[in-house]
Amino acid sequence: MPARRSKIALLAPAVHVVIWTILLIIPAIIFHNASDNPALPGAFFLFTNLYHIGLFYLSAFVLYPRLMTRWRWPLYWLSLGAIVALSYYAKLYILRWWAPDLSITPLIHRLLVFPPIPFLAASIVYCVVRDSVRRERIEKERKAERLTAELKFLRQQMNPHFLFNMLTNMVSLARQGSPLLEPSLIKLADLLRYSLYESGEGKVPLSKEINLIENYIDLQRLRFGEDVDIRLTISDADPELLIEPMLLAPFVENAFKHGAGMVKDPFIHIEIKVEEPMLFFSVTNNYHGAPKKSGIGLSNLRSRLELLYPGCHSLTITDNANVCPSDESLEGTQDLYTVDLKLVLS
């Protein structure tokens, strides 16, 4: 943003030079076919042009900002009319003093009246463009500030939510006196390191996010053993591609939260496929009980996707309640929950 402001600051003088060049050519155009008429003194032209430039800045930086408001705008237009009239009489008086022998023709009267008008009109156009650019810049700055604040808020919500569920798993292992507690704590330490030092540094390689998912799954396998059918399929994962951290793992965490426990023959199937630059990510799990509701984690994920990948993602969540399982060994009916995410990676 500061670099853009510096470019605008450098461009402004160039715009002024172009405007003055165009407007100072106008007298030459008027005089093009007036060679038989008495000419105004050259010094007088220089004096009046400097005066007109002063009118431009008077209008653009004094009158327009102060009078072109909701209630004072009639005063602005009255001021411009008064400036044109007073300029004509002032220049006429000065010209008669400057060149008393000069015959004041209709052409000279037009030369005394007309020049201030394009200068004042240019000041209005300049002010309109300047205010429009300023409003656009302020709006973009506000939008960027809101985006940064919302992302910080969403990350602060998500990471504790994710880690809270992991700590709950550790408590379960501790109560069982399981020898698997120590390796679980080591893997949890890796997850904490990723959460603390990676998730706040912008995008990370896709391989790190996949490694996080693998560690999380290993922790869940330590907890559930063979009770849950966990399948992770990864194909064509390009390590050079970047992704926003903690974006895929919460979907996996949500599947374990609702798909393991009070379910007969629970399964969680995860697939990660890359067809550069597209990432295809899906999680399917079965569950049993009351219809599921979207928690704060999924709500935050939707918000993060909208903020970080606007127009570059597709998220489909399907809740097929009471679907008869294809496996005849499963009695009754179960509910299937599927997340399909398509994401354009950088």
| 75 plus 173 within the same structural domain | no
Which residue(s) pair with 337 in the sheet? Answer: 285, 319
| 109 plus 192 within the same structural domain | no
Q: Three-class SS of residue 293?
A: coil
| 240 plus 197 within the same structural domain | yes
Question: Would you state the pLDDT for residue 247?
Answer: 84
SS3 content of the chain, % helix, strand, coil (to 5): 60, 15, 25
- The CATH number of whichever domain residue 203 belongs to comes to 3.30.565.10
**Residue 301 CB burial class (10 angstroms; 0-12, 13-18, ≥19):** buried
CA pair distance 272, 90, nearest whole angstrom: 80
Higher pLDDT, 2 or 131: 131
**What mean pLDDT do residues 76-89 have?**
88
Decide if 143 is inside a domain. Answer: no
Residue 45 clears pLDDT 90, i.e. is over it: no
Residue 58, phi then psi, degrees to nearest 5: -65, -45
| 249 plus 340 within the same structural domain | yes
Q: Which stretch, 78-92, 153-167, 187-201, 231-245, has highest mean pLDDT?
A: 78-92
Decide if 10 is inside a domain. Answer: yes
CB atoms within 10 A of CB 123: 21
In the structure, what pLDDT confidence band is assigned to residue 293 with cuts at 50, 70 and 90? low
Could you give the angle at the alpha carbon of 338 between the alpha carbons of 289 and 188, nearest 5°?
85
In the structure, what pLDDT confidence band is assigned to residue 295 with cuts at 50, 70 and 90? low
Decide if 88 is inside a domain. Answer: yes
Higher pLDDT, 313 or 166: 313
Residue 61 clears pLDDT 50, i.e. is over it: yes
| 236 plus 336 within the same structural domain | yes
Decide if 242 is inside a domain. Answer: yes
CB under 8 Å to 341, separation ≥6 — which residues? 248, 251, 279, 280, 281, 282, 313, 314, 315, 316
| 69 plus 163 within the same structural domain | no
Question: Would you state the pLDDT for residue 342?
Answer: 94
Residue 271 clears pLDDT 90, i.e. is over it: yes
Cα 250 to chain centroid distance, Å, stands at: 24
CA pair distance 305, 245, nearest whole angstrom: 12
User: Between helices 206-224 and 249-259, what is the axis angle to 10°?
Assistant: 20
Last-in-domain residue among 93, 114, 135:
114
Question: Would you state the pLDDT for residue 39?
Answer: 58
Q: pLDDT for 110-120, tens place per residue?
A: 778 888 888 88
Last-in-domain residue among 114, 135, 161:
114
Higher pLDDT, 291 or 200: 200
Question: Would you state the pLDDT for residue 324?
Answer: 45
Decide if 187 is inside a domain. Answer: yes
| 76 plus 155 within the same structural domain | no
Question: Would you state the pLDDT for residue 5?
Answer: 54
> What average pLDDT does the chain have?
77
Question: Would you state the pLDDT for residue 13?
Answer: 73
Quick one: CA torsion of 181, 186, 192, 197, rounded to 10 degrees?
Answer: 180
Q: The domain containing residue 42 runs over which residues?
A: 2-114
Question: Would you state the pLDDT for residue 334?
Answer: 61
Q: pLDDT for 105-155, tens place per residue?
A: 777 777 788 888 888 888 888 889 889 988 898 888 877 777 776 666 666
Question: Would you state the pLDDT for residue 178?
Answer: 76
| 73 plus 152 within the same structural domain | no
Which residue(s) pair with 151 in the sheet? Answer: none
| 277 plus 158 within the same structural domain | yes
What tokens appear for 242 in the block?
């970047």
Question: Would you state the pLDDT for residue 270?
Answer: 94
**What mean pLDDT do residues 167-171 have?**
78
| 199 plus 297 within the same structural domain | yes
Decide if 120 is inside a domain. Answer: no
C-alpha distances (whole Å) from 258 to each of 127, 205, 254, 285, 288 are 60, 29, 6, 8, 9
Last-in-domain residue among 61, 89, 114:
114
pTM: 0.55
| 103 plus 177 within the same structural domain | no
Question: Would you state the pLDDT for residue 341?
Answer: 94
Question: Across the chain, where does the E strand assignment appear?
Answer: 204-205, 229-235, 242-243, 267-275, 278-287, 313-323, 334-344
Decide if 281 is inside a domain. Answer: yes
Q: pLDDT for 191-233, tens place per residue?
A: 777 766 666 667 888 888 898 899 888 877 877 778 888 899 9
Higher pLDDT, 20 or 249: 249
Higher pLDDT, 214 or 301: 214
Decide if 36 is inside a domain. Answer: yes
What tokens appear for 315 in the block?
């998220």
Residue 326 clears pLDDT 50, i.e. is over it: no
CB 259 within 8 A of CB 319: no
CA pair distance 160, 192, nearest whole angstrom: 10
| 169 plus 305 within the same structural domain | yes
State the total domains in the chain.
2
User: Between helices 181-197 and 206-224, what is the axis angle to 10°?
Assistant: 150
